[in-house]
Copies of this chain bind each other. A is one copy, B any other.
Amino acid sequence: MRTFIIKANKAKTSPDFRLSDLPGTSGRIDVLCRFLNAAFLLSHGFRRNVRVWLLLYGPPNPPKAIRFEGAKLRVRLNPDELSTAKLIMNILEAGERLKEPGKELEVYPGLYVSNRTFEDVIRLTLKNSALYYLHEDGKPIGKVSFKGNVAFVLGDHEGLSKEDEAFLEGIAEKVSVGKKSYLASHVVAYVNIFLDSLTLPP
């Protein structure tokens, strides 16, 4: 089982953005659409062994945590950005009804929204997965021995904050796919293909 977690510090937490201008109006929800594409999609196929957490921290009601559970998902995830952005819009709309901090709402089968924080999600993930922070200064991915469930944390186009990095210190191993700074979706595509090549792929 593979978990991918992205913290999007500017991503809007209400559905009032325009699909015709995602980069300009949504706090870069387009980044999250490409992230989902990279995490789940195969050519004519879908990765059921993947979970994605999108952690949205933009205005007006941060945080919003959106969970995509590959094993249970019944909504069709299409490769294009717009259809995925519409889905996120619907989830954020449902999320506006959330009052209790601990509650998670199942918006569609396998698709959930909550007010969980980055720290909540990391703690939850640690219970059943080894945690890795994907960063260009990490240990080369080819030298890491992956066993059992694995979870990867990534920053958005602006990266994680110093506070978030301090929180991950000691609980997540820094792993790198290369010395350059790559787009989150490219890193996830790489990690998925890399993990597929292992003798016992998670």
Known: A34-B79, A81-B81, A157-B43. A182 touches B193 (CB 8 A): yes
Report, as a range, how many residues of chain A touch the other chain: 35 or more
Interface residues of A (CB under 8 A from B): 19-23, 30-31, 34, 37-38, 41-45, 78-83, 157, 177-187, 189-190, 192-193, 196-197
A189 contacts B185, CB within 8 Å?
yes
A178 contacts B197, CB within 8 Å?
yes
Known: A181-B44, A193-B178. A83 touches B23 (CB 8 A): yes
Q: Which residue of chain B has the shortest Cβ distance to A31 in the bound complex?
A: B79
B183 contacts A79, CB within 8 Å?
yes
A79 contacts across to B, CB distance below 8 A: 23, 30-31, 34, 183
